[in-house]
Structure 1
Amino acid sequence: MLLTTRIAFRYLFSRKSSQAIHWITGISVFGIAVGTAALILVLSVFNGFEDLLSGMFGRFNPDVKLVASNAKFFDEDSLLMMRLRSLDGVEALSRSLEEVAMFQYGDAQEFGMIRGVDSSFSKAIDMGEATVEGSFATQSGKRALANLGSGLSGRLGVRVSDFGEPLRVFLPDASPGDGPSLQAYQDFPITVQSTYSFQQESDYNTAITDLDYLRERLNRNGVLSAIDLRVKKGYNPEGVARQVQTMAGPGYIAKDRYRQDEAFFKIMKLEKWLFYALFSLTLVLVSFTIVGALWMVVLEKRFDISVLKCLGMENRAAKSIFIWLSWYICLAGLTIGFGIALGFYALQKEYGLIGVPAEFIIDAYPIQLRLLDFFLVSVTVLLIGFLASAMPAQKVGEIQPVFREE
């Protein structure tokens, strides 16, 4: 093996090779380098967006969320609540109830969700940094208060500093009766206490108020939509979610932050691998230049190969020379491509060379390198190099040793 790798290395830098071979080899290295850099950077941009959006979602989503498996609501179980509070790794626990609502302020109307939370909500979800205007609170004495997402308040034209008409909330009427009511909803006024922003969908459709007040309005005493848990530092949320699932049983689903937005992250991963496949196809196209370079080397080195076979080299070893030659070309391209990617990464991080539209929450495209991506790209390029050497290596196997008789 050492002999074949040395011969392949000499063929790569042979001074006796024609200029055409050097040019085609150089083009191959350049193409592999550009393709490698593009693959690394595309994957890194997706990594950056994934980290950015995970952080944004994580601000409003609890570490672990417990919901009913086959229903919108479930009855509050005091024994389960006590066991969850005593679970090792749980720092705080909050109960919540959600329902579809219509909000009206003046002539403006918007549909969204109203969420009732208990007094422990701020311990499970950090609302301090997210509060934009006012101060977060769900009740003042016996009076319930509303906290609107910044997008929802903007659409309705609500300002916390305004002391005019209150926000009106329209909810489904769940009052018991003999039959369907002509008025299938109820409405009530509520004072807006604050606005918040997590830079995500909840900003545009969610109002937060007091749990007991919302239960009373919905006539759903003792009912919950979810239990939110905050995990202590040093504990793995996924592990805590598994413990919660075991404790709660099959009637519930315990979701970590990833599972709470699982569909979104699956779409992001699908897009990431689609782009990976697309850019890998460009490397496949570049590999045809490697095939051309190897064919020319085979034609030029026919006599050398014949002599090596006369000296006892087997076909398998002779073929491996050109497999290694292909890999050397790919390794040269990989090294240069990694260097380009690292250089661009540093410049993008420092100067934000490629920006995003002004209305977005960041100034430049986020980018994040991961070691796994380098490994994946390396395997991809070397596999393409191996496939590119298949036909030239097959041709080497057809070259026969030539013996001269004196």
Structure 2
Amino acid sequence: MQFLFAWRYFRAKKSTNVINIIAWICIVAIMIGTAALILVLSVFNGFEGLVKSLYSSFYPDIKVTPASGKFLTLSEQQLQQLRGVNGLRNYSLVVEEKAILRNGDNQALVSLKGVDDRFRNVNNIAGHIVSGRFDIGTADHPRLVVGGGIEGSLSIRANPNVEPISIYIPRKSESEEFDAVNNITPDTIRSAGTFIIQQDFDNKYAITQIRFLQQAMGINPNEFSGIEIAVKDPAATAKVQQSIQRLLGNAFRVQDRYQQNQSLYAIMNLERWVFYAILSLILVVAAFNMVGALTMLVLEKQKDISVLNALGADRRFILRIFLNEGFLLAFIGGGMGMLLALLLVLLQQQFHLVPLQGGSFLIDYFPVTLKLRDFLLVAVTVMVIAFIASWAPAWKASRKEFSLKAE
């Protein structure tokens, strides 16, 4: 009933045309604010999906590392039990260490990652090779797969037939004193391929054969830096993670992809909420227009309020009429804004209307992804702001009818 009164007040002609103008200004402001919020959240969704896809090419579904210390030791029995974990698709044993690569006068400090032959089954680096091929060689004849940034800094061309480059790997030592002669293993190695994923990886990582790296570091064949695991069903990652944690115990840290990059995802979420808060100020500005429109409407409808009061309407009834008037303005503006945002996102996805400047990114347009949760969040935000903005005029209107009755 109260909504019907609100709808009638919205459509009816006003004695002062400025009331209609302010109401439509309020609707347009809410429409712009709603569209802006959804568009910005959709852009964040697009970039988040892109970054996750890039990071998923390097980081595994699950990674096992030692809870303390640098290396973990696994027996063949433990590896056999690991293979039997339900939901596990494959795993790869890895060893990581800092190393120096040198090609003539050019050198680079890299994170050298030794991997086994199963690595390609848990990691998609092979799908990002831009020159050469993914070939880690053997323990006696190792090969090197480097990031694009490392290839550029060393001025090498990834090809197994080119001249080898020098590699210096620190050896494991029980002594606290560093001896460059005994604690560094010099060797030569040929580059086989180059990958390009993302600058954080391209400028940092080089990949080689795990047995070669273990021998160069002077560690046992059953010592590893970690285990990288691929699951059959990504939706069951948490369940597989728990099973592996129970199997290996608290001496091991078992992390999913989110936990491996927790700081990155935390920053992305923080940026999302900061922009959400800033753009919500547009809706707050629209709320000031709503307060003005409803206040003038209350003055316009004083006689109607007195009539309704005479017919038995109580304060709550009058209050709800003008609250619904505010919700009506928010509903119209918010609905128009959502439709506008939906149209613009679909056009961007189809025609890439808004380009990315600079040309240094993997794509040349702003990625956008629609999510239902964003529409629900923005809808709730609009309605909450509309309620707050409508409350004061509606409350005054509910009090106005009693003063008119007393007269």
Q: CA RMSD in A?
A: 1.9
Q: Secondary structure at the match of 1:148?
A: strand
Q: What is the alpha-carbon distance in structure 2 between the residues aligned to residue 237 and residue 380 of structure 1?
A: 33
Map of 1:169 onto structure 2:
167
CA contact (8 A) 1:89 1:235 kept: no
Work out whether 1:269 is the aligned partner of 2:307.
no
Q: Secondary structure at the match of 1:129?
A: helix
CA contact (8 A) 1:322 1:392 kept: yes
Change (3 A) 1:178 1:330: closer
Q: What is the alpha-carbon distance in structure 2 between the residues aligned to residue 132 and residue 193 of structure 1?
A: 11
Farther off after superposition, 368-377 or 127-136? 127-136
- How many correspondences in the alignment? 403
Give the ranges of 4+ consecutive aligned residues of structure 1 lying more than 6 Å apart after TM superposition: none
Map of 2:281 onto structure 1:
281
Map of 1:197 onto structure 2:
196
Q: Secondary structure at the match of 2:280?
A: helix
Change (3 A) 1:189 1:13: same
Q: Which amino acid aligns with 1:263?
A: S
Residues 337-360 of structure 1 show CA distances to partners (whole Å, capped at 9, x for unaligned) of 011101111111111111112111
Farther off after superposition, 305-314 or 367-376? 305-314
Map of 1:399 onto structure 2:
400
Map of 1:354 onto structure 2:
354
Farther off after superposition, 67-76 or 287-296? 67-76
Change (3 A) 1:395 1:223: same
Map of 2:365 onto structure 1:
364
CA contact (8 A) 1:56 1:200 kept: no
- For structure 1, list consecutive stretches of 5 or more residues without a partner in the other structure: none
Residues 112-170 of structure 1 show CA distances to partners (whole Å, capped at 9, x for unaligned) of 20011112111222343222222222224731111111221122111124745412122
Q: What is the alpha-carbon distance in structure 2 between the residues aligned to residue 128 and residue 171 of structure 1?
A: 24
Q: What is the alpha-carbon distance in structure 1 between the residues aligned to residue 95 and residue 27 of structure 2?
A: 60
TM-score by length of 2: 0.94
Q: What is the alpha-carbon distance in structure 1 between the residues aligned to residue 250 and residue 15 of structure 2?
A: 71
Q: What is the alpha-carbon distance in structure 2 between the residues aligned to residue 367 and residue 180 of structure 1?
A: 52
Map of 1:8 onto structure 2:
6
Q: What is the alpha-carbon distance in structure 2 between the residues aligned to residue 374 and residue 250 of structure 1?
A: 42
Change (3 A) 1:140 1:71: closer
Map of 2:251 onto structure 1:
251
Map of 1:340 onto structure 2:
340
Using the aligned pairs only, state the percent identity: 34
Residue 182 of structure 1: how far off its partner (Å): 5.2
Q: Secondary structure at the match of 2:145?
A: strand
TM-score by length of 1: 0.94
CA contact (8 A) 1:57 1:200 kept: no
Q: What is the alpha-carbon distance in structure 2 between the residues aligned to residue 206 and residue 178 of structure 1?
A: 27
Map of 2:75 onto structure 1:
77
Q: What is the alpha-carbon distance in structure 1 between the residues aligned to residue 174 and residue 279 of structure 2?
A: 61
Change (3 A) 1:217 1:182: closer
Residues 297-344 of structure 1 show CA distances to partners (whole Å, capped at 9, x for unaligned) of 001111111221121111011111111000000000011101110111
Q: What is the alpha-carbon distance in structure 1 between the residues aligned to residue 30 and residue 176 of structure 2?
A: 75
Residue 51 of structure 1: how far off its partner (Å): 0.6
CA contact (8 A) 2:147 2:195 kept: yes
Map of 2:237 onto structure 1:
237
Q: What is the alpha-carbon distance in structure 1 between the residues aligned to residue 57 and residue 351 of structure 2?
A: 27
CA contact (8 A) 2:138 2:212 kept: no
Change (3 A) 1:297 1:235: closer
CA contact (8 A) 1:175 1:218 kept: no
Work out whether 1:147 is the aligned partner of 2:148.
no
Q: Secondary structure at the match of 1:253?
A: strand
Q: What is the alpha-carbon distance in structure 1 between the residues aligned to residue 86 and residue 232 of structure 2?
A: 9
CA contact (8 A) 2:147 2:203 kept: yes
Residue 77 of structure 1: how far off its partner (Å): 3.1
